[in-house]
Amino acid sequence: MDSEGVTPVVVTDLHMSFGSMVWFMVKWAIAAIPACTILLVLSMIPAGLFAALTR
């Protein structure tokens, strides 16, 4: 990639109300539930195959 003309940016402060931050974290936690379920299913497939092969 060509990075010519790109200026680096550093964020030093973020203005966000406490209620808005709490709501964002609640939505983040709710979104993690299906993500963890998908990862669990995807990890159970190879584990099941390995268990079946080692019997």
Q: Name 24's Cβ contacts closer than 8 Å, sequence gap at least 6.
A: 16
- What does the pLDDT profile of the chain (55 residues) look like in tens digits? 677 888 999 999 889 999 999 999 999 999 999 999 999 999 999 999 999 999 8
Alpha-carbon distance of 47 to 40, in angstroms, equals 10
- For the chain, the structural domain boundaries read 17-55
